[in-house]
Structure 1
């Protein structure tokens, strides 16, 4: 059972960036021709408007640290998924768990500013347009990872966003904003790409987007399709080193997006949309640390299929003095995956056998044979959510009308998560019989009974999580002067979470059929002061509270976990864990200088996090439960600089430093090894930085070209709180990318190289039972692309 073996690995920014190098840049932004090459002579830096405060605004006027990356910039920098995004966004990282975690799509969790926890609820909210696709840190899956397909921009909002985005936005919020249908322009765009990975397979991608006005200025349809393959580079080998399968970590995905925009009258806009995505991973990207680079020895392959469906209807009504918005959403995720359970299911079973060496009846040869059997963990996950949000917002500030602006709303959601798990140990019954024993004999296997291993299945579980939220929220701005305004926002939230579970068979101990629940309430205020020193420079300060809901634990069998529980001073695993919260304090500045040819954004923050939800690992029985254990602080700085010193040349640099550490020993008292005051929070690099330079130049006639280079640095981090774990120390590393291309009237061609110097740093090396796995930076890949717009 995966939960029992969760050796939490914090898959930091380092692993995220490495996964990024595996991915094929899908160039999902359907701009066709990169807008940067179209405006090679422009000398001003692009301003990307944001909806961080639920209305379109200039990010320089918003009192928070925001990274807003346009679709054109995503395309130019080959950013096409979460992992790529960490290369260009300061203080953003990932956390994963063993097995498929971090090495397979759909298994990582996101953190911002060091707010990292692989247990309990998510710490960062994720939105696709107006649809919340945030899921909890259950042991079977991570955050939803929408592809950057037909995207207008990505907004990364750092710091607590509980006032406007609710629970689980305590570290920040990430918003993927798709392109809306255009009521005027009829347009088709396409993209194709081919690349090769050193030591690996070929990769390819293609997509097509059409924007079709159906009724002039009233009705338009936008539809897009995409498909891509990321070639693998890990080979499966047997005990003699013979290659059994090549490039096993290949990933295929396909997607569809349809949106209709209807404006029956001037004041009313209705936008129904649908996004569908399926990601098929043939295996994970982990290898055995003791083997040559990129080789994995495993008894069971670990494929997964992750399907996402998000229909939404957004209605916007201009009421004159205010704007009313309704967003009605449905979100469904189906995530089926297989894990190699041989290292812990078979091994755990072998440890329960009574050896003849200890006066028992099981011969050592039987124990060794059981420990060597292949085992799989079959996980079938489904998340379904219905949500509704209403909000009413005043018009933007106008000194001649009122010194006040405001926004208010209500939000409701109902999320169901169903998990079915089966853990067969293949050949277990025949192995007992081969040695002349029965797997139902308690004399050789304590606690055994008839039917304990039906069809070799050692564990069967069914888990139904339900989470309901209801909240009201609002934000009020008062302009003391046209240049100085104060903000007060607040959200009152009530959440109920329940877990109905049923599990049985031998590895479930005596089995269990139970239900538990937890209710949480929160008042999450925000205070901010914004001073527009002049039209080009803004200073701000803010204080905000973040919050995430409590929840229920999977049953921990006292029959097999009794000694571990007793060591932690308890008789049974706790049925529930409580909510946790934090306060964030931030000061920042945003400047546009030299006629917007130089921009500089900086922020300094301090976060105090209380009652953290953490996973408590029981080493003997290999179960895990969640508990509230300890407090932490996170402090740091982040910056983003862009400059156009001469026409055509764009320089950028970004980076962050964060010191996130526990502030007391409460976690250690709750059984979390290494959770002492001063311990660095898992998976949080102390720094990250990126630089990029692009030069656009005229060629002949109306043709143009560009060359671009970028480098990324990721600091050292801790993969575990326990200094004795193999993944405790993770090294710093860097990568370098280059690209070049030409633009014609309706055509854009480019070549690129990712990880140009073929860095092969082992960025993490977790241990699962007796196996030490490793993840390296993906090998160098070289490719070319062709985009057309017509």
Structure 2
């Protein structure tokens, strides 16, 4: 009996030591960066992966938070899109700015591409962090496996999959108060239900949230017309069914839906007290996203076949305050009596002061299909080769309808005894130029088709040294059919343009696992961005600006651009996995950049290819567990992205000269966090956590005369603490604890220059439970 007890005690001690040792190791978040599940330490690229639990505990709620938590990612609030509302921002990685032309960062939800072009009416698709297993940020061009528009990198939102074995229901609720604003809340429920054990499971989740507002709308006298106007409501639903009819085959249909209802944008007037916006017209939006997908994974024995059939639909309806450029522009066209015309100054002043709304109705839909065939992971006993090959097809339609009424314009002319269609009063006026006071009507239909063949091959010279060669051949065809009418469209336009593009994007890499804990790599890869078509620029109203750029009319299309990226990095673990250090340096040569050319007289913009740029820098990520329960982490990056010649300036891009800093790219960003897990006197699990995030200075524009030219550096600080009570975890948190409120960006449309600040300090509590 004594011997049995001794053996049992030794066994329990060994198990406890093993569990303790495992808990002391840094968490490894498995990634699918190379279209197969892998340890990120064995992948020859710079990757940041954050688990869904870490996103929640660090109060990473949206894209802007993500850019502060991960090195060398940045966002620009609504470049040319009229404010700082959800769904209008652009994302940049490693200095490859996405402000004009096609996107430079690929956005994926699972295997579904959500990448859209940078139209003046909408920005990057922003999936909510709901029922997410992890977010992967893949830096550097990912053209080989992810295609065009992944020049700077790719961001993947990887959802949780249905579990065929375990039944589980989780619930979460959160409430917070914002200083000087309204309350915020979030609640969700997710259930996982095995319907047939090991064969069929259903996962379903719902979420509802409100982000409190903190900006007040005021009139010219400072009177508050509406409070906390920038509230945002959103709802999400995700349903996934996993069926494994055999051990070798799984079929997973899923659908994700979200609706984001923003009551207004988060920009304020620079000439008013902070968090006040003087505007005649509110700027709400509703952004709907629907992404059905059917994923098939089939183990063929010697290889794995994957099929992803996807449909992506986005409907984004928004309003924009167009008073400054529609009403004011119209007033400048009137022939004043002081200059020998017919319009009295009082009429001109009245027209300039009228409110105008820009109604923008965007709809994107895409059908895509990808097939991949991948070899089994490397096995020295089987073969020195591993490989992956695939085919990809997509067909994307984007419809944009724009209407710009100047409210009361017809009656205002009548009030002063004039007709709005009098050409002696308003040059080039004609009957019917302002139907229902609408000054501009535009219909734009974009269509983009892509087809690609891609693959990668790895050859292992030894179990610790292998080389990778990959390539993608892509053919793209895009066209734009557009129709513009009413007075501000000039003589009107009904036209179509078409552009074909193709690219060969290779990748080369060498990976050396010097020891099981130390990996070194180097890679060379090409990135590519499709060309596209421009919105018609009316020569009647934009003629002077076009002439200054040496043009008689706006260019119909713009060409593709491309870059080469060179990277060297290392990924190491020390002290038995208690310390992890990843670091890399990179150099990028970017040619024929797609840039926006702004025409100040008529407030139009067209895209052109203008000049070259270079981007160079580094990233690092350090995590350590120096003692039981304590986790420390530090991550940061530096990037120097500059134009390499003056070609952009000669093409009409103000400030686009050699040495100019690429817009929207902070010189550095970094974050430091510390978390301590411990047990209370009553045996409860608890934690405390704090973190600081820094973002360096940047240029919001190439033009030194722009109000947004100098963007300051800033930092935020977050704290949280929690305790587990049986099935429940209670957490209290403070976000932006020291209430950092610098004006960090100046979104601008025409002559309207606005300010964008961080959300004020918020204090809240949350409860999470699993059943």
So what's the TM-score if we normalise by structure 2?
0.97
TM-superposed deviation, 1:290: 1.1
Residues in 2 aligned to 1:558 and 1:41: alpha-carbon distance in whole angstroms = 69
Does residue 1:592 correspond to 2:578, yes or no?
Answer: no
Q: 2:371 aligns with which of 380, 390, 393?
A: 390
Does residue 1:668 correspond to 2:649, yes or no?
Answer: yes
TM-superposed deviation, 1:760: 1.2
The 10-residue stretch of structure 1 (356-365 or 150-159) with the greater mean CA deviation from structure 2: 356-365
Aligned to 1:690: 671
Residues in 1 aligned to 2:164 and 2:243: alpha-carbon distance in whole angstroms = 9
TM-superposed deviation, 1:102: 5.8
Report if the CA contact (8 A) 1:348-1:621 is conserved.
yes
TM-superposed deviation, 1:623: 1.0
Does residue 1:704 correspond to 2:688, yes or no?
Answer: no
Q: 1:307 aligns with which of 266, 277, 288?
A: 288
Secondary structure at the aligned position of 1:513 is classed as strand
Aligned to 1:556: 537
Does residue 1:236 correspond to 2:226, yes or no?
Answer: no
Report if the CA contact (8 A) 1:40-1:648 is conserved.
no
Q: 4+ residue stretches of structure 1 with deviation over 6 A?
A: 38-41
Aligned to 2:414: 433
TM-superposed deviation, 1:466: 0.2
Deviations 1:504-541 (A, max 9, x none): 00000000000001100000000000000100000000
Does residue 1:365 correspond to 2:346, yes or no?
Answer: yes
Report if the CA contact (8 A) 2:82-2:747 is conserved.
no
Task: Look at both structures and tell me which one has the larger radius of gyration over its CA atoms.
Answer: 2
Aligned to 2:106: 125
TM-superposed deviation, 1:110: 1.0
Does residue 1:55 correspond to 2:49, yes or no?
Answer: no
Secondary structure at the aligned position of 1:256 is classed as strand
Aligned to 2:499: 518
Residues in 2 aligned to 1:728 and 1:232: alpha-carbon distance in whole angstroms = 27
The 10-residue stretch of structure 1 (302-311 or 620-629) with the greater mean CA deviation from structure 2: 620-629
Distance 1:589 1:162, change over 3 A: same
Q: 2:360 aligns with which of 379, 393, 400?
A: 379
TM-superposed deviation, 1:446: 0.6
Deviations 1:45-80 (A, max 9, x none): 100110000000000000000001111211211112
Q: 2:440 aligns with which of 446, 459, 463?
A: 459
TM-superposed deviation, 1:745: 2.5
TM-superposed deviation, 1:768: 3.9
Report if the CA contact (8 A) 2:202-2:239 is conserved.
yes
Report if the CA contact (8 A) 1:474-1:491 is conserved.
yes
Does residue 1:176 correspond to 2:135, yes or no?
Answer: no
Does residue 1:167 correspond to 2:148, yes or no?
Answer: yes
Secondary structure at the aligned position of 2:325 is classed as helix
Report if the CA contact (8 A) 2:108-2:156 is conserved.
yes
Aligned to 1:616: 597
Aligned to 1:772: 753
Report if the CA contact (8 A) 1:702-1:745 is conserved.
no
Secondary structure at the aligned position of 2:414 is classed as helix
TM-superposed deviation, 1:700: 3.4
TM-superposed deviation, 1:39: 8.8
Residues in 2 aligned to 1:313 and 1:298: alpha-carbon distance in whole angstroms = 46
Residues in 2 aligned to 1:769 and 1:552: alpha-carbon distance in whole angstroms = 22
Residues in 1 aligned to 2:605 and 2:272: alpha-carbon distance in whole angstroms = 30
TM-superposed deviation, 1:97: 3.2
Aligned to 2:510: 529
Aligned to 1:734: 715
Structure 2, unaligned stretches of length 5 or more? Answer: 1-18
Does residue 1:104 correspond to 2:102, yes or no?
Answer: no
TM-superposed deviation, 1:702: 3.8
Report if the CA contact (8 A) 2:734-2:763 is conserved.
yes
Aligned to 2:613: 632
Matches within 5 A, 1:489-508: 489-508=470-489
Structure of higher RCO (CA pairs closer than 8 Å, 6+ residues apart): 1
Q: 2:725 aligns with which of 738, 744, 748?
A: 744
Report if the CA contact (8 A) 1:552-1:575 is conserved.
yes
Aligned to 2:549: 568
Secondary structure at the aligned position of 1:249 is classed as coil
Residues in 2 aligned to 1:242 and 1:739: alpha-carbon distance in whole angstroms = 38
Does residue 1:659 correspond to 2:624, yes or no?
Answer: no
Secondary structure at the aligned position of 2:627 is classed as coil
Report if the CA contact (8 A) 1:692-1:708 is conserved.
yes
Deviations 1:683-719 (A, max 9, x none): 1000001000000111134411111100011101111
Distance 1:223 1:39, change over 3 A: farther
Deviations 1:454-492 (A, max 9, x none): 110000011000000000000000001110000000000
Aligned to 2:15: none
Report if the CA contact (8 A) 2:162-2:202 is conserved.
yes
Q: 1:45 aligns with which of 14, 26, 42?
A: 26
Q: 2:457 aligns with which of 460, 476, 479?
A: 476
How many residue pairs match? The answer is 753
Residues in 2 aligned to 1:764 and 1:488: alpha-carbon distance in whole angstroms = 41
Residues in 1 aligned to 2:701 and 2:480: alpha-carbon distance in whole angstroms = 28
Report if the CA contact (8 A) 2:333-2:427 is conserved.
yes
Deviations 1:336-370 (A, max 9, x none): 00000001111111111111122211111111111
Residues in 1 aligned to 2:81 and 2:174: alpha-carbon distance in whole angstroms = 27
Residues in 1 aligned to 2:428 and 2:696: alpha-carbon distance in whole angstroms = 48
Report if the CA contact (8 A) 1:99-1:339 is conserved.
no
Residues in 2 aligned to 1:552 and 1:70: alpha-carbon distance in whole angstroms = 39
The 10-residue stretch of structure 1 (349-358 or 687-696) with the greater mean CA deviation from structure 2: 349-358
Distance 1:71 1:457, change over 3 A: same
Deviations 1:157-212 (A, max 9, x none): 00000000000001000000000000000000000011000000001110000000
TM-superposed deviation, 1:40: 12
TM-superposed deviation, 1:658: 0.2
Q: 1:140 aligns with which of 101, 106, 121?
A: 121
Secondary structure at the aligned position of 2:744 is classed as strand
Residues in 2 aligned to 1:682 and 1:485: alpha-carbon distance in whole angstroms = 38
Report if the CA contact (8 A) 1:95-1:116 is conserved.
no
Structure 1, unaligned stretches of length 5 or more? Answer: 1-37
